[in-house]
Amino acid sequence: MRSNSVEISTPGRICLFGEHQDYLGLPIVAAGISRRIKINGSKVQGGSVKVNMPDIGQEEIFDLQSPLNYTKERDYFKSAINILTQRGYKFYGGIEAEVRGEIPINSGTSSSSALIVTWIHFLIKIADEKPLIEISQEEIGRLAYEAEVLEFGEPGGMMDQFSTAMGNIIYLESTPTVKVKSYEIGLGTFVLGDSQEPKDTLNILKRVKSGMLEIIQKLQKYNSSFSIHNISNAEVTEYTHLLTSDERLLFKSNVSDRDILREAKIMFDEGSIDNTHFGDLLNRHHLNLRDAKKVSTKKIDRMIEGALKAGALGAKINGSGGGGCMFAYAPTNTEKVADAILKQGGIPYRINVDFGTKVLI
């Protein structure tokens, strides 16, 4: 370890409420978790960047110039430097860094966004010239969103970047303007369960996202004032005759999930969590994801069922779906819940809500 080294640590995330809602312009509630990723590195002589990633047996090496040309899809190590350079950060020498992580990869816990947040935070700290001496976690999240999503024209939302950058529990609105609120509320232990099934993100989004956007277009043709933000449950039946049975199910589930999140936000705003109610909201959210959006899998459903039978207060799939992780809220019976997930073939991790991106050294 070099004497002038910098080490940055950033959490993964779970989505508590609002899965498959952000691309509709609806808010989400997410939490940083105590499975984290770290970058340790420093400025060195020369003009190249070398990032060693021993956990996955890869390394990234490129010459440091401005602007950096992208040579592959999602060239995030370069895009982060380009975004910061556009903001007035300057890098004159070389950079060497090592990445270590404990966030399950490609499992819906935002390992890639946590890496980008960590890399941007690291670059800000070692930059030779800086327009700002201090920068907030929220702003780091915005920069990560630009580097990961906007720079490559990706369709993703902002949840992953803001939740990993800010940690704790966040409420995030992206429409009509970005609005984020952080909660430091004591929640009990969760158990994250990795199904080890690969996610099917593209097909899930093609079906669920495209399907819901088509429903909204259909309803707006019928009533130009229709809005998924404002429609009440009582008004839903006024539109169901326009939809197929599958469309009705998807439509109702999105209105339901919107209202589940609103119930949860009331608790967070009041600063007092009823664990039983909180768990019930997670369960209701998962049923919508499983039955209407069909983003769960048989294995994840068995993991969830086992966790609930073992004493978890609530559980749901995490991430876009088709595989990846689930989590269970288990402030008590934590070990029994972890064992139940293990018995169903999942890898359990005991986690807590954790702080956002942070300089360790």
What average pLDDT score do residues 153-172 get? 93
Calpha distance 126→65 (Å, rounded)? 16
CA atoms 39, 40, 45, 51: torsion sign: negative
Helix 298-309 vs helix 275-291: angle between axes, to the nearest 10 degrees?
160
Dihedral angle, C-alpha 77, 82, 87, 92, nearest 10 °? 90
Distance of CA 333 to the CA centre of its chain: 26
pTM: 0.95
Q: Which two tokens stand for residue 178?
A: 């970005």
Using DSSP's 3-state secondary structure scheme, residue 327 falls into: strand
- Fold for domain 6-185? Ribosomal Protein S5; domain 2 (3.30.230)
Residue 1 pLDDT greater than 70, yes or no = no
The least confident of 43-57, 95-109, 193-207 is 193-207
The order of strands in the sheet holding 314-318 is 314-318, 325-329, 190-194, 347-351
Q: What are phi and psi for residue 155, nearest 5 degrees?
A: -90, 5
Q: Can you give the residue ranges of every domain in the chain? A: 6-185, 192-351
Write down the CATH superfamily of domain 192-351.
GHMP kinase, C-terminal domain (3.30.70.890)
Q: Report pLDDT digits (tens) over 186-212.
A: 899 999 999 999 988 878 988 899 999
